Structure 1
């Protein structure tokens, strides 16, 4: 499975921990994030992740910025992307189960690295329930 990841200057440590964890689990990583703490613009790192997921180059995406909001708004501008801002593994599970989210957005300044790794693990190992949720998810895309 391929995972695309992108982050701004708030997330290099988070990205490293998540990438290391995912590689140990056998995932292939497409890395679009910065490795420094120098100020950058999160859209420059979010759009490539969204494109990877949107085009099928990646199965899922992980995006990280300080609040998680800016990069989440960025990737959600792409049709076919359902990115969820998550701050607990329970919300990560619900984002997959009920919303068929395909990108998880992590707020680096409001979660620990361990929480972030656990959220990503939960997100990637939770299936969409379909059923009553499928009709709702189908209504998300702009017509």
Structure 2
């Protein structure tokens, strides 16, 4: 069974709903830590549980969504063993997985479309870490 966690603030609710539907159609079991409202909330309340599940090894990957993606990414990266990557194109997502072994994808809802976000999620889940010369660099991050 493929498990993944997702969290979002008010800017990412529609994105989260579309991504969850897409992932469930592909056979994923998605744990939703995000808000289901468009009313203003504090993104750390929804990002910390995602990062905690990745950090503990409950799941391999997480997805976080806020307006710019920055606050969510900064919050997630406070957790050991988390490498959250703020991405806005599939190409950046692929590099974040290949070169940085990113395990959380941070999506900026105000700077991507829902179809873009879904394509980024697919790239994130389908792209493998290359290891090799990148392994030493990732180890130096200090959170592996």
Q: TM-score range by the shorter chain?
A: over 0.9
Residues 84-95 of structure 1 aligned to structure 2 (within 5 Å): 84-95=85-96
- What is the alpha-carbon distance in structure 2 between the residues aligned to residue 141 and residue 79 of structure 1? 8
- Cα offset, 1:73, TM superposition: 0.2
- What is the alpha-carbon distance in structure 2 between the residues aligned to residue 51 and residue 44 of structure 1? 12
Question: Which residue of the partner structure matches residue 80 of structure 2?
Answer: 79
Question: Which residue of the partner structure matches residue 101 of structure 2?
Answer: 100
CA deviation string 1:28-76 (max 9, x = no partner): 1110000111000000000000001111111200000000000100000
Question: Which residue of the partner structure matches residue 119 of structure 1?
Answer: 120
- Cα offset, 1:120, TM superposition: 0.5
TM-score, normalised by the number of residues in structure 1: 0.98
- What is the alpha-carbon distance in structure 2 between the residues aligned to residue 94 and residue 101 of structure 1? 9
Q: Is there any run of 5+ residues in structure 2 with no aligned partner, and where?
A: none
Q: Is there any run of 5+ residues in structure 1 with no aligned partner, and where?
A: none
Runs of 4+ in 1 over 4 A off after TM superposition: none
- Cα offset, 1:6, TM superposition: 0.1
Higher helix share: 2
- What is the alpha-carbon distance in structure 1 between the residues aligned to residue 111 and residue 127 of structure 2? 23
Residues 1-40 of structure 1 aligned to structure 2 (within 5 Å): 1-40=2-41
Q: Over aligned residue pairs, what C-alpha RMSD do you find?
A: 1.1
- What is the alpha-carbon distance in structure 1 between the residues aligned to residue 113 and residue 27 of structure 2? 23
- What is the alpha-carbon distance in structure 2 between the residues aligned to residue 19 and residue 58 of structure 1? 16
**3-state SS, counterpart of residue 128 of structure 2:** coil
**3-state SS, counterpart of residue 11 of structure 1:** helix
- What is the alpha-carbon distance in structure 2 between the residues aligned to residue 141 and residue 27 of structure 1? 30
Matched length: 143
TM-score, normalised by the number of residues in structure 2: 0.97
